[in-house]
Structure 1
Amino acid sequence: MTTFKDLQVDSRLVAQLTTERIETPSKIQEAAIPVALEGKDVIAQSQTGTGKTLAYLIPMLQRIQPDLKQLQGLILAPTQELAMQIFREADNYGQTMGITVQSLIGGAASKRQLEKLKLHPQLIVGTPGRVLEMIRNRKVKMHEVRTITVDEVDQMFKLGAAGDTEAIFKTALRDRQLLFFSATMPAEVRDIADAWMREPVEIGIETDQKTSATIEHYYFETEERNKIDTLRRIVRLYKPKSAIVFVNDIASIAEWVAKLQYLGLSVEPLYGEADKQERANVLRRFREGQVQLLLATDVAARGLDIKELPMVINFDLPISSEHYVHRVGRTGRMGHQGMAISISTPREQFIIEKFNRQLGIHITPQAMYDGKVLSRESEDRPVRKPVAKPTHKSTTARAASKPTVQTAGNQKNSKSKLSRDKDRKNAGAPKWLKAKTDPK
C-alpha cells in the first residue's frame, strides 16, 4: 500500500495528515502529487469527493520557500464558498510549514484584505475577479509565482471568469506551473489548456465511473404540483441528519423555503446573490447541525465540502449529466456512504434514462405508500391491506340497537364520500400502486 512518505511528501505535512486521520493517499493524490512535485503542468480529472484539494495543495506547499517572503503560489476557485473552503485547508497545512496563506475573495472588504497583504503571504487563495483587481492595482505581484492552480476549472469558465483567469495567467512568468483540477473536463477547457500549458500530464481517475461507487441513486416520480409534498415525505421517511436540496430556478427559492418551513421542515436558502457574511452564516449553521436542509442552486453550492453529508436531493433535475455529477458529489465523499434522490415528473423520465446512459449508473425508481418506501422494480410489490379497527363493545351495542334505514339518497351520498376519501388517500400514490389497490 502506497503511503504519503512513499510519494516524497514532507514529514511535517505527513504528520498533519495523520492528525487529520488521513493515513493513505487517494488515487488522485497518488497520481498527481509526484508529477506536480516535479513542476510539470497537470490536467487532472477525478470524480468529486476523492481528495482533489490535497492532490494539488500538498505539492504547492512543498514547493514554496518559507524564507522567501513573497507570493509564490496562487489558487483560483469559481465561488466564494469554495475559495474559503480551500483557504481553510491551505492555512491549516501551511502553518505546519511556516507558510503564510491569505484569501482574496470578492464580496469581502478589500480594505482588510489590503492590510493583510502587508504580511507578505506566500500563498493566495481567491476568486479571479478580486485577484485580478489587486494585481492591476499593484497590490499583488506575480513575478515570483511558481504555481497557479485552477480548481473546478470547468465551472470557472462556464461562470464567465475565463477572461479574468487568462488575464491572471498573462501576469505570471512564462515558466510558471499550471494545474487544472475538476470532476469534468469539457472540450473548451482542453482548448484553454492547449493555449497556456506546456506538455501537460493528463491524469484521469475512473473516467468511466464519474460518480462515487459509495453513492446510492434513487428517484421518485410525481406530478409537478405534488413535488413539495413529495420532498416533505422523503425527509420524513429517510430522516437525514442533513441534506442539500438543489433547485434550478433561483427566483423560486424564497417561495420554496417559505412553503417547506410552513410544513415544519428546518430549511434555509443559500443564495448566490447574498452577501458574503450572510452566506457564511447559513453554511455555519448547516455544518453545525442547526439546519437540516440547505436549499441551493448549482452555483451557490459548487464545490462545497460538508463532512459526511448523508444525502443530496434534486428537487429539480439538473440540466445535464455534468451538473448531476457535481451535485451528487457533495455526498459519498472519501469512501463514506451517500444517497442521491431525485424528484421527477412523468415527462422527465427520459432525463433519468439519459443520466443512466451517460454516467454508467442506475438510478432506481422508488415509491412511497403507507409510510414505507417501495422499489418499483420489484416484481412483488407488497401492498398492505387496511385492517379494520376493533369496535368498542358499547359502540357495537348501540349500533345494533339502533336500526339504520338506507334510502337511495343516503346510499348515494355514502358511496360518494367513500370514493372521495379513497381518492384523497391515494392522491400521492404512483399509478401502478393505485392499480394494485383498485377493486376488480
Structure 2
Amino acid sequence: MTNMTFAGLGIGEQLVTKLGDYGIVEPSPVQAECIPAALAGKDILAQSQTGTGKTLAYLLPLLQTIQPEQKTLQGLVMAPTQELAMQIHREAEKYGESLGIHVQALIGGASTKRQLERLKVHPQLVVGTPGRIREILALKKLKLHTVKTVVVDEVDQMFQLGGTADVEHILRGTLRERQLLFLSATINPEIRSLANREMKDPLEVGIDPDQRTSKSLEHLYFICDERDKIDTLRRIIRHYNSARTIVFINNTADIAEVEAKMNFVGLSAGALYGDADKTVRSVVLRRFREGKIHVLVASDVAARGLDIEDLSLVVNLDPPIDSEHYVHRVGRTGRMGRAGLAVSIITPKEQFIIRKFSRELGIEILPRSLYGGRVIEAGDEKSTEHRSGNRVFNGNGNRERNSSEDKKQAANGNKDARLSGRQGQGPKETTKSNTGRTSSSKPSMPTSARKKDSDKDRKNKGAPKWLKEKRNKE
C-alpha cells in the first residue's frame, strides 16, 4: 500500500483530478483491493467495516467503465435505505459529471411521476432502493437488458430490512453476463448463499475482518438510572461540544420526546423518522449537515448508512439490540481514519450488554463518570466528592449528594409538592355530611386511562404535525 495511487490502480486522469479536488489522493485498503478487480470485470464479495471508503471502491471503476456516448442504462446501484441511496447518488453525480455521465435516482418516498419523467433522458447509471426500482420495472418504464454492472451496497442491512426478495427479483431481470458486486460490513451465511447463487467465481475481499469497528474510534459508556438518562445525555453533549451529534434510540415512539427535551435544554435538535416521507427526511438531513441542527435523534432504520462529515460523536441512549447494530451505529463516526467517539448511556442492569459487545467485537469499551462538569474514570468520584456539592453519577449508576444538598433538595421537593397540590386543586363539589362539615367529591378517571392519556401526550410532545395526526388515528 506504500505510495499507492488511484492512477496506479487504473483510474483515469479525469477521475484522479476530481478526487484531488476533494483532497482524496491515496486509496484506502478496500479501494486498493476492489478497484483493480472491478476494472477487470470480476464479481466481488467485499467485506469491510463502515467508514473505510467502500462507496468509491465500486463507484470509481463503475463510472470509468460506463460509455457516456451510449444513451442506455449501463450501471445499477441498490442500497437498503433512502438516505444511503441519496448519498450514493450525490457521489455518483459529483464524479460522473466531468465524464458526461447522467445519473438518475429511483428512491422510495419521492414522486414516482417525476422519476418517470427524468428516465426519459436515458440515464447511464441508476441509483435507488430495491422497492422503488421493482415498482418502476413493473410499470415497464425501466429495462435492465443493457446493464453491465450491478452493485448491492450494505447487503447485510438489505437482509435485515427485508429487501432481499426485491433484490433477487431485480437480478433475475438482468443478463447473466453482467458483473455483480456485493459490499457489506458483515458477511453472514445468507449473504454468502445469495452470492453463490448469483455470482461467477467471486473474488472475496476482506479488510481486517476481525476489526469490525474503526481503529480511530474510542468507545465509552456511562451508567445512570433510567430517569437520569436525558440529563446525562445533555451533560455529555455539552462536555464534548461536538459540532454534530447523532443520538440513537430503539423505540421510534420516543423520538419526539427526546427531541423536545433536547430543544428544551437549549440543544438544537431534529428528528429522523423512518416512516417520514423523503422530503421531510431530506430537509432534516440537510439542516444537520449545514449545522443548523446540532443533535440528530434517530432510530436504527432511519439512520442506516448515513455519512455525515465532521461527525465526531455518536451516543446510544438505548443500547443496540446486538453487536451488528452497534457496529453500524458507531460506524457513523471515525470514518476514513478520522477520530471519533462512541458513547453508550446504560442502566446498571444493562452492563452485561456492553460486556457482550466488547467480547464479541474484540474492542475495549471503557467506563466513565460525570462529575462537576468533567468526565472522569469510573471509580474516581470518591476521591474528589468532598470538593463540591455537584451531583455525581457513580460507577453503580446511583446519584450521590452531600448532606447539605440533600437537605436543600428535600426542602425544595416538599415545597414543590405543596405548591403542586394547591395548583392541582380545581373547582370542587361540596356536600354536607351529617356532622355539618363540608367534604369534597370529585369524579376520578381510572388509573389505567390516566396513564394511557399521559403516555400519549408525552409521546406527542414535540412531534411533527404529520406524526401527531398519524398517532391520533391509531
Which of these residues, 176, 189, 192, is aligned with residue 191 of structure 2? 189
Structure 2 counterpart SS, 1:5 = helix
Q: Which residue of 2 aligns with 1:260?
A: 262
Q: Deviations over 1:237-264 (max 9, x none)?
A: 1111110000010011112212222222
Q: Which residue of 1 aligns with 2:174?
A: 172
Q: Which residue of 1 aligns with 2:457?
A: none
Give yes or no for contact 1:253–1:295 (8 Å, CA) kept in 2.
yes
Structure 2 counterpart SS, 1:289 = coil
Indicate yes or no: 2:164 matched with 1:158. no
Q: Deviations over 1:129-171 (max 9, x none)?
A: 1111111211111111011000111111211111111000000
Q: What is the identity, as a one-letter code, of the residue corresponding to 1:78?
A: P
Q: Distance in 2 between matches of 1:435 and 1:83?
A: 48
Q: 425-434 vs 287-296, which deviates more?
A: 425-434
Q: Distance in 2 between matches of 1:132 and 1:344?
A: 41
Which of these residues, 142, 145, 162, is aligned with residue 143 of structure 1? 145
Structure 2 counterpart SS, 1:68 = coil
Q: Distance in 2 between matches of 1:43 and 1:8?
A: 20
1:19-418 counterparts in 2 under 5 A? 19-376=21-378, 382-383=383-384, 385-386=386-387
Deviation of the 1:427 alpha carbon: 6.6
Q: Distance in 2 between matches of 1:427 and 1:216?
A: 23
Give yes or no for contact 1:308–1:333 (8 Å, CA) kept in 2.
no
Give yes or no for contact 2:47–2:186 (8 Å, CA) kept in 1.
yes
Give yes or no for contact 2:39–2:61 (8 Å, CA) kept in 1.
yes
Deviation of the 1:308 alpha carbon: 2.1
Summarize the Cα distance change of 1:253–1:34 in structure 2 as closer, same or farther, 3 Å threshold. same
Which segments of 5 or more consecutive residues in structure 1 lack a partner in the other structure?
A: 388-421
Identity %: 55
Structure 2 counterpart SS, 1:90 = helix
Deviation of the 1:381 alpha carbon: 6.2
Structure 2 counterpart SS, 1:302 = coil
Q: Deviations over 1:47-104 (max 9, x none)?
A: 1111000000011111111121100000001111110100000011111111111101
Q: Distance in 1 between matches of 2:379 and 2:52?
A: 31
Which segments of 5 or more consecutive residues in structure 2 lack a partner in the other structure?
A: 405-474
Q: What is the identity, as a one-letter code, of the residue corresponding to 1:44?
A: A
Q: Which residue of 2 aligns with 1:14?
A: 16
Q: How many residues align?
A: 402
Deviation of the 1:8 alpha carbon: 0.8
Deviation of the 1:369 alpha carbon: 1.1
Deviation of the 1:187 alpha carbon: 1.5
Q: Which residue of 2 aligns with 1:5?
A: 7
Q: 258-267 vs 30-39, which deviates more?
A: 258-267
Q: What is the identity, as a one-letter code, of the residue corresponding to 1:217?
A: H
Q: Distance in 2 between matches of 1:364 and 1:438?
A: 30
Aligned-pair Cα RMSD in Å: 1.9
Give yes or no for contact 1:29–1:51 (8 Å, CA) kept in 2.
yes
Structure 1 counterpart SS, 2:386 = coil
Give yes or no for contact 2:223–2:395 (8 Å, CA) kept in 1.
yes
Give yes or no for contact 1:374–1:381 (8 Å, CA) kept in 2.
no
Q: Distance in 2 between matches of 1:295 and 1:436?
A: 31
Q: What is the identity, as a one-letter code, of the residue corresponding to 2:14?
A: R
Structure 2 counterpart SS, 1:6 = helix
Deviation of the 1:386 alpha carbon: 3.2
Summarize the Cα distance change of 1:71–1:377 in structure 2 as closer, same or farther, 3 Å threshold. farther
Give yes or no for contact 1:75–1:148 (8 Å, CA) kept in 2.
yes
Q: Distance in 1 between matches of 2:302 and 2:376?
A: 33
Q: Distance in 1 between matches of 2:118 and 2:203?
A: 35
Q: Which residue of 1 aligns with 2:416?
A: none
Summarize the Cα distance change of 1:266–1:175 in structure 2 as closer, same or farther, 3 Å threshold. same
Q: What is the identity, as a one-letter code, of the residue corresponding to 2:37?
A: V
Deviation of the 1:431 alpha carbon: 4.2
Q: Distance in 2 between matches of 1:245 and 1:127?
A: 25
Q: Deviations over 1:292-325 (max 9, x none)?
A: 1000011111101101211000001111111111
Q: Distance in 2 between matches of 1:374 and 1:433?
A: 16
Q: Distance in 2 between matches of 1:273 and 1:436?
A: 43
Q: Distance in 2 between matches of 1:136 and 1:198?
A: 27
Structure 2 length-normalised TM: 0.82
Q: What is the identity, as a one-letter code, of the residue corresponding to 1:335?
A: G
